[in-house]
């Protein structure tokens, strides 16, 4: 049974740490784990729909949608791997119960068997346990590799998103600088035009002065 506990621990590599800690004693609530994964899948789909809505408000819609679909696929694969691990554990528990029954029956029989048969039975049991442990170890190693690749992909995606955000900020700053330059040019042109109008008004020639009034008693000039 000690080796079977080791098999359970390896199979639980895709499950939360608290579940792994209970694997050896067989106290993991697999049905609760299935409900948890179902809730995670619902939350994943909800986030996916929210991300799609947000993507259509961005400039790079297709890139945003592609990243969202990739995240959804990775999360979905992770959930499927955990469900597979749970199913494996359920099968192993069932198999362990059958093995225990067989062991109990064999124990009674071994009392009557020869020493050679007892040794052969023990060796067969060890072989079965070793094969199960090897299989579980292989699955655990595969799950660990998948998790590492997922972390690397998420890091790359985050770096890409940061680069896009920086480029967007640079474009926005450039647009604002162009607008400020155009506003400055417009104000300068208006200022020059105002100065030219004032100068033109000051340089305009004044009208000829009116003639002085005639002296008293002087006849008025004849009309032409």
Domain map (residue ranges) of the chain: 2-116+131-178
Query: Are the CB atoms for 61 and 45 separated by under 8 Å?
Result: no
**Among 107, 89, 105, which Cα is nearest to 5's?**
89
Q: What distance lies between CA 147 and its chain's CA centroid?
A: 15
The string of pLDDT tens digits covering residues 39-87 is 999 999 999 999 999 999 888 889 999 999 999 999 999 999 998 998 8
pTM above 0.85, yes or no: no
CA distance 89 to 28: 10
The string of pLDDT tens digits covering residues 163-195 is 999 999 999 888 898 999 999 999 999 989 989
């Amino acid at each position: 049974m000690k080796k079977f506990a080791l098999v359970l621990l390896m199979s639980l590599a895709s499950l939360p740490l608290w579940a792994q800690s209970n694997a050896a004693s067989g106290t993991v609530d697999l049905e609760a784990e299935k409900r948890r994964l179902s809730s995670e899948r619902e939350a994943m789909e909800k986030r996916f729909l929210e991300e799609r809505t947000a993507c259509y408000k961005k400039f790079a819609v297709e890139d945003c949608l592609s990243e969202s679909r990739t995240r959804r696929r990775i999360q979905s694969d992770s959930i499927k791997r955990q469900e597979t691990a749970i199913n494996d554990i359920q099968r192993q528990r069932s198999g362990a119960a059958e093995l225990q029954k067989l062991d109990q029956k064999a124990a009674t029989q071994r009392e009557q068997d020869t020493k050679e048969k007892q040794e052969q039975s023990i060796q067969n049991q060890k072989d079965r346990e070793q094969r199960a442990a090897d299989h579980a170890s292989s699955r655990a190693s595969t799950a660990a590799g998948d998790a590492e690749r997922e972390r690397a992909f998420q890091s790359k995606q985050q770096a890409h998103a940061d680069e896009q955000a920086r480029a967007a900020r640079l474009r926005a700053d450039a647009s604002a600088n162009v607008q400020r330059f155009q506003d400055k040019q417009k104000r300068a042109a208006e200022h020059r035009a105002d100065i030219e109008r004032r100068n033109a008004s000051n340089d305009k020639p004044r009208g000829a002065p009116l003639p002085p009034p005639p002296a008293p008693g002087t006849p008025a000039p004849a009309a032409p």
